[in-house]
Structure 1
Amino acid sequence: MPVTEHPLLVELTLRAGARAHEITSACPCGAAVLADRPDATVVRHAGTVAKAHAPDTDPAGLAPRLALAAGLPGILLPPLTPTATPLHGRLVTFWPYGTAVDPEDPDTAPWEAAGILLARLHRTPAPATLPGMRGPAKAAHAVARLRAAGPHPAVAPVLSAWRALPAWARAEAPMPHTATLCHGDLHLGQLVRHPAPDGPWLLIDVDDLGVGVPAWDLARPAAWFACGLLPPEEWSRFLAAYRAEGGPAVPRDGDPWDALDVPARALTVQTTARAVTKSVAQGRSLDEVEQCLVDACARMGFVPPQLAADSAK
């Protein structure tokens, strides 16, 4: 994606280039925009990535998250500098470039690596200064945007599934477990190889990192599996790797769904809410995958959630 003339992108590109040249003068100059969304603008210059975080990012919350990433090499990609700098009303951080998962080649998806890294993260003692994991708050934000998007036939089943969840999963009450270090937004897009292109896999994106219910980090692939969007073999690879590494979110053996049911439902609602909101904004019908998610929310209304997750591991 070429760099546009948006002031934030222009300045972010300049800063990424300057940071890259501090690291090495042997720089194959050229910048690329990796993401340009309301919640994140990301620019790459050679081996350096500059990220402008969401405008409402709390500096006091981001600081301990960056410090933790700097202190957990082998699990989290460490930042090039452990502090953020302001730019056009946004906080900017700098990172080494890593090779992302190829979305066009699902057979090479690193499900085992994701499970292992997640288990190691969950087993790491959480610093006392770390804030709460932001997963439930992001789900609540997605639902709030859906409510504001306007009328749509899918809104009713999505909101019905949402209201059936316990208050903590809707970010309306404290999480029942706040001692485990969690990623907060785990999916395959949060893994990169570093050093690029074929170094070990590491987790990225610390914006939602914090303490909370560890099953939340398994919830997105669990939800995809439950909705028929993730093949059973891939779900099994991920879950088996997590369990073999001693991950605490689910029992080591037997049925994991007592722990996973509520978070998986919440992530299904979040994903569906985002999909419906996007379709309304674009004035189009739901595609096949989006309709599958809506159907899953409708089914949830007939089966109450397993509230055993309230006493998560």
Structure 2
Amino acid sequence: MMDTTVQNIVVEKVKTSKIDQIDFDNLSFGSVFTDHMLVCDYKNGAWEIPKIIPYQPITLDPSAKIFHYGQSIFEGMKAYKDSNNDVWLFRPLDNQKRLNISAKRMAIPELPEEYFMEGLKTLLKLEKKWIPQSEGSSLYIRPFIFASGKGFHASPADEYKFIIACAPSGSYFSGKVKVLIEETYSRSANGGVGFAKAGGNYAGQFYPTQLAVKKGYQQVIWTDDNTHEYIEEAGAMNIFVRINDTLITGPTSDRILDGITRKSIITIAEDEGIPVEIRKITVSEVVEASKKGILKEMFGAGTAAVVSPISGFGHKNMNYDLPELESSYASLLKKRITDIQYNKTEDKFGWRYKV
């Protein structure tokens, strides 16, 4: 292996790439990984200089605190390649800032912006050939931090590990999904960590989602922890509801993630002249709107799928179907966002970031 230095980041390259073994026409989400990953350790009260090494397993002591107290956070991003073979990111500084918001809440040391950005750019330049160029494909990027420090005592760790791993991926979802409005379990609570991208938030979702799948649904619509009267998120995504011509989404809070796709959809919808309301949405309002025929759309919004249309929902043993629209807000907003991401159109908002 050959060692080189790029902007003080040590790069250890693989001897032989495995890229020729990959079928880029049949990529499932997050199951194939690139040749390299970025690793950065926090020790002795400071983050060390990041390094890029061949993608490989990591070794941890059985007493590493990630296993016992769950100090783990992550982000989800994508890199896109346009028709000129140029590589782009979408609002990466928002991901960097949100990672540190999550870190602070989980008592993890915040990561310097330059470590995140320079490390990410160096990694992507090295892995450029791994970024697929076919329609809807991208390189999924997973930055994450976890507690690697040892000890069984219930306290924050003294050592942490920051890693960026990448996976070339095709489209995340295909088709519309049916969802079940949750009446028993909660994703998060006031004063909790729902606004952070903490691993435990997602682990807690799996069991209720499995119960919904057994009933014939693909995802769960999360409601508030106190009364289950207010719609909050869709699976691991923010949720939008269209009643008549108004697009509605809940406000961010201790319980709801400040989604980057969510913010982008709100901005683009307003730019399109679509009435947007950011307010609490009651389950009863959605049910009544469906009964009256004025519930036009529901969709999830997140990095992986961008926009995931919902075809129907279940509540209190009743099913409600949404209409098939020729011109939906979901398709319009998804196209506006993806055209910016793939450098197909003007970026009037300054979201696109060239690598």
Q: Same fold (TM over 0.5)?
A: no
Higher strand share: 2
The TM-score normalised by the length of structure 2 is: 0.26
The structure having more radius of gyration, on CA atoms, is 2
Higher helix share: 1
